[in-house]
Structure 1
Amino acid sequence: MISVDSLTKRYGAQVAVSDVSFSCPPGTVTGFLGPNGAGKSTTLRALCGLTTPTSGSAVVGGRRFRDLPNAGRTVGVLLDAGAQHAGRTGRESLRLSAAVLGVPRTRVDEVLEQVGLAGRPADKRLRQYSLGMRQRLGLATALLGDPQVLVLDEPANGLDPEGIFWMRGLLRGFADRGGTVLLSSHLLREVEAVADQLVVIAGGRIVAAGTTQELLAGSGTLVRARDRAALAAALAAAGIAVGGGSGDALVTDATADAVGEAAAAAGVVLRELRPAGGEGLEELFRSLTAGSPAGTVPAAQQVQEARA
C-alpha cells in the first residue's frame, strides 16, 4: 500500500507540491498524470526518500522509504533509466545490485529473461544500449528484489509499440498477483489501457482522483453502422438521444449494451461500437490541466538534495 498524505514540498519561495494526498492499494495500477512541472517527480522523489517533505508524508506500508529494512526488497524503483554506469554490461549492473540487495545471482538471469534482455543483450556495455534497452534494464533492476510495490517514472519512454504492449502486460500481471504499481507516464492511452485508478496533478495540487471507470464515465459511446440514417432512427425509437458525431459516426451518452440492443432490435448492422473518443483520457487530461501553472523546481536544488 502506498499512501501520500497532505504532502507539501517547498524550495525556498517555490511550492513544488501542496497538500497532495492519494493512496494506491495492493492489486492495482495507479496512473499518476500531469503536465511538465506539475509536481509528479517531486512526489515520486519524496516517496522514494530522495527529497524530504516540508510537511505531510509519503509512505509504503505505513513506513517511510528510508525506514524500510533493505528497501529494494519491498519497493522496486525506476525514476531515471539513464542513471547507470555506461561501462558495465547489463548483467554486471544487475549482479552488483543483487549483491547489495542480498538476492542470489540466479535472480539476475530470471529478471533478464523477464524483461527480454537474456542472451547477447545482457553482455553488451550499457553505452551500446538503446533508450528502450535501458528502460528494460531499469525495470529488471526494479524487479530484482521481488518487491511488492513498483514506483515507475515514464517506464515506456523509448519503447517501440511492441515493447509498450509487453510492458502493459508485465505491469498488469504484477498487479493481478497482488502487487502495487504507481506509474507516471505521458503516454495517456497506454495508462488508460492498464490503470485501475488515476491521479491527476496540476500546479502542484491534485485536481482529480478516482477509478479509471469513474473518471472516464462521461465519455459516452461511439457507434457506426452501414446505414447511418437507419441507426439514428433505431436509437431514436429506443429513446436514446444522439449528442454528436463526425462523419458516419454517432455519439450518445447511453451504454454500449443499450446501443447494441437498440440496433439489433431494428436489424441495423453495426460496423463499430466502443467508448466515445478513443482519446477519452486525453480529453479529460486537457480539461483538468489547461492553463495550470507549472511548478518547476530548479534542477540544481534537486541535484543537491539527491547528493545529500
Structure 2
Amino acid sequence: MITADHLTKRYGPHAAVDDVSFRCEPGTVTGFLGPNGAGKSTTMRMLCGLTRPTSGAAAVAGRPYRELPNPGREVGVLLDASAQHVGRSGRETLTLAARTMGVDAGRVAAVLDRVGLNPVAAKRRVGAYSLGMRQRLGLALALLGEPRVLVLDEPANGLDPEGIFWMRGLLRDFADRGGTVLLSSHLLREVEAVADRLVVIGGGRVVAQGGKDELLAGAGTLVRARDPHALRLTLDRAGLDATGSADGGCVVRAEPDAVGQAAADAGLVLTELRPAGGGGLEQLFLTLTAGASTKEAVK
C-alpha cells in the first residue's frame, strides 16, 4: 500500500505540493495525472524519500521509504530513466543492483528477458541505449527485487506502440497478482486502459480522486450553442462553472438539466447537450485541470 497524508512541499513562498492526500491499495493501478508543473514528480519524490516534505507524511508498505531496511525489495521505483551509469552495460547495471539488494544474480537474466532486452542489448553500454531501451532497463531495475509496490513516472516515454501495449499488460498483470502500482503518465488513453483509480492534481492540489469509472461518469456536461459567446455569458450569469473544450464547446460542472434550463431561460438555441463522460479520460483531464498548467508554469 502507498499512502500520502497531507503532503506539502514549499520552496520559499511557492507551494509546489499543497496538502495532497491519497491511498493506493494492493491489487490496483492508480493513475496519477496532472499538467506539467502540477506537482506530480515532487509528490513521487516525497513518496520515495528523495525530497523531504515541508509537512505531512508518506509511507510505502506501512513505513516511510527511508525506514525500509532494503527498499528495493519492497518498492520498485522508476522516476528518471536517464539516471543510469552510461559506461556500464545493461547486464552490469542489474548485476550491481542485485548484489546491493541481496538478490540472486540468476534473476538478472530473467528480468532482462521479461522487459524485452535480449543478450545483445544486455551487453551494450547504457550510453548507446535509445530512450525506449533505457525505460526498459529502468523497469528491469524496478522489478529486480520482486517488490510488492511500483512507483513509475512516465515509464512509457520513448516506447513505440508495441512497447506501450506490452507495458500495459505487464502493469495489469503485476496488479492482478496483488501488487500496487502508482503510475504517472501523459499518455491518457493508456492510463485509461490500465488504471483502476485516478488521482488528478492541478496547481499542487488534488482536484479529483476516486474510481476511474466513477470519475468518468461524473465528468460534467458538454454543451454547444449557435452563439458560443452568448452561451458563456449565460453560464457565467447562472453561476455554472464552465471551461472551453478543445473542439469549441463548453464543459460545465453541472447536470444537463441545469445547463439546459439556463440556456432556455436565456432563449439560446443549443446544438448539443449531453454528459461529458463520453469524451473519456482526456475530456475529464481537460475539464479538471483547465488553466492549472498555465498558472503553474509562470510561478
Shared fold, TM over 0.5: yes
Deviation at 1:61, TM superposition (A): 1.9
Deviation at 1:219, TM superposition (A): 6.8
The equivalent of 1:104 in structure 2 is 104
Looking at structure 2, the residues matched to 37 and 297 of structure 1 have their Cα atoms a distance apart, in angstroms, of 9
C-alpha contact 2:17 2:39 (8 A) present in aligned 1: yes
Looking at structure 2, the residues matched to 45 and 297 of structure 1 have their Cα atoms a distance apart, in angstroms, of 22
Looking at structure 1, the residues matched to 297 and 65 of structure 2 have their Cα atoms a distance apart, in angstroms, of 24
Question: What secondary structure is seen at the aligned counterpart in 1 of 2:21?
Answer: strand
Q: Could you give the per-residue CA deviations for residues 204-262 of structure 1, whole angstroms, max 9, x where no partner exists? A: 00000001110112479xxxxxxxxxxxxxxxxxxxxxxxxxxxxxxxx9xxxxxxxxx
Q: Could you give the per-residue CA deviations for residues 32-86 of structure 1, whole angstroms, max 9, x where no partner exists? A: 0000000000100000000111111111122100000101100000000000111
- Structure 1 letter corresponding to 2:143: L
Aligned length: 245
In the alignment, is residue 287 of structure 1 matched against residue 292 of structure 2? no
The equivalent of 1:90 in structure 2 is 90
Question: What secondary structure is seen at the aligned counterpart in 2 of 1:190?
Answer: helix
Superposition map of 1:36-51 within 5 A: 36-51=36-51
Question: What secondary structure is seen at the aligned counterpart in 2 of 1:50?
Answer: coil
The equivalent of 1:157 in structure 2 is 157
Looking at structure 2, the residues matched to 295 and 177 of structure 1 have their Cα atoms a distance apart, in angstroms, of 38
Residues 215 and 127 of structure 1: CA distance in aligned 2, closer, same or farther (over 3 Å): same
The equivalent of 1:132 in structure 2 is 132
Q: Could you give the per-residue CA deviations for residues 91-124 of structure 1, whole angstroms, max 9, x where no partner exists? A: 0000011111110111101100100003211111
Specify every segment of 5 or more residues in structure 2 that has no aligned partner in the other structure, as ranges. 221-254, 256-275
Question: What secondary structure is seen at the aligned counterpart in 2 of 1:216?
Answer: helix
- Structure 1 letter corresponding to 2:177: R
Looking at structure 2, the residues matched to 79 and 62 of structure 1 have their Cα atoms a distance apart, in angstroms, of 21
Looking at structure 2, the residues matched to 154 and 6 of structure 1 have their Cα atoms a distance apart, in angstroms, of 24
In the alignment, is residue 145 of structure 1 matched against residue 108 of structure 2? no
Looking at structure 2, the residues matched to 182 and 6 of structure 1 have their Cα atoms a distance apart, in angstroms, of 17
The equivalent of 1:173 in structure 2 is 173
Looking at structure 2, the residues matched to 297 and 61 of structure 1 have their Cα atoms a distance apart, in angstroms, of 36
Residues 196 and 212 of structure 1: CA distance in aligned 2, closer, same or farther (over 3 Å): same
Looking at structure 2, the residues matched to 131 and 100 of structure 1 have their Cα atoms a distance apart, in angstroms, of 25
Looking at structure 1, the residues matched to 189 and 132 of structure 2 have their Cα atoms a distance apart, in angstroms, of 19
Deviation at 1:129, TM superposition (A): 0.7
Task: State TM-score, norm by structure 1.
Answer: 0.76
- Structure 2 letter corresponding to 1:183: L
Looking at structure 1, the residues matched to 297 and 26 of structure 2 have their Cα atoms a distance apart, in angstroms, of 31
Question: What secondary structure is seen at the aligned counterpart in 2 of 1:210?
Answer: strand
C-alpha contact 2:219 2:284 (8 A) present in aligned 1: no
Please report the RMSD computed on the Cα atoms of aligned residues, expressed in angstroms.
2.0
Deviation at 1:276, TM superposition (A): 6.9
Question: What secondary structure is seen at the aligned counterpart in 1 of 2:30?
Answer: strand
Question: What secondary structure is seen at the aligned counterpart in 2 of 1:22?
Answer: strand
Question: What secondary structure is seen at the aligned counterpart in 2 of 1:77?
Answer: strand
C-alpha contact 1:112 1:122 (8 A) present in aligned 2: yes
Deviation at 1:294, TM superposition (A): 4.5
Superposition map of 1:177-192 within 5 A: 177-192=177-192
Looking at structure 1, the residues matched to 210 and 51 of structure 2 have their Cα atoms a distance apart, in angstroms, of 26
Looking at structure 2, the residues matched to 62 and 103 of structure 1 have their Cα atoms a distance apart, in angstroms, of 23
Percentage identity across paired residues of the two chains:
71
Tell me which moved more, 120-129 or 203-212: 120-129
Looking at structure 1, the residues matched to 96 and 62 of structure 2 have their Cα atoms a distance apart, in angstroms, of 29
